[in-house]
Structure 1
Amino acid sequence: MVRRVSMPSADDLFRPTSTTDEEQPATAAPEMGAGTDTGRSPSGRVRHDEKMTVYVTAEELLDIESARLSLRSRHGVAVDRGRLVRAAVALALADLEAEGEDSRLLRRLRE
């Protein structure tokens, strides 16, 4: 007698893994002081639907990786490079929004 294995249907394989409430991005708590006055905060660990490619020098990439490793070893914060960059961008944008002409970002870009 041949025994047939029961396979899951396509609906079972491709079903949503969370409820509608869980699919909505949660409001992340401000990290590293970002957005405390302006409400802007990095997105943290959520699914990102948009992509942006940024080119950096070898030295900048090493600095980012060094910062990531330092966050993990010295501060116990394990983040990937993308999350680190999103947090830095959130800080820069919050500073620009709060400080305007006196923002560190604007001063840096004018150098």
Structure 2
Amino acid sequence: MDFIDQRGSGAVLAAVDQLAHEDHAQITISTAHKAKGREWANVRIADDFTPPKDGDQRGADGRPLLGSIDDTEARLAYVAVTRTRSRLDLGGLSSIQHHPDGNPAQGPC
């Protein structure tokens, strides 16, 4: 059931009124689109990016290598991963570490 239908718009507005201003918040949740031009000490990428599909090639371990990445998704992922100053948790983008165009010598982030 839809949250607003279940709780009512008043409950949603009351919850929003209780939110801390970002300057005083311990956690900030943002979309990658809204994060452009911003930075945080730590960034964790959510799992809502569209992962690349398996390609036709296989790696040395026999697993399928990831295929091409949509240009729009790649640009948005770039914005997301460049928002951090200290620590990046790739989360939903961790599959990129297995992409054939990646640099395995760099190791995991």
More helix by share: 1
More strand by share: 2
TM-score bin, normalised by smaller chain: under 0.3
TM-score under structure 2 normalisation? Answer: 0.24
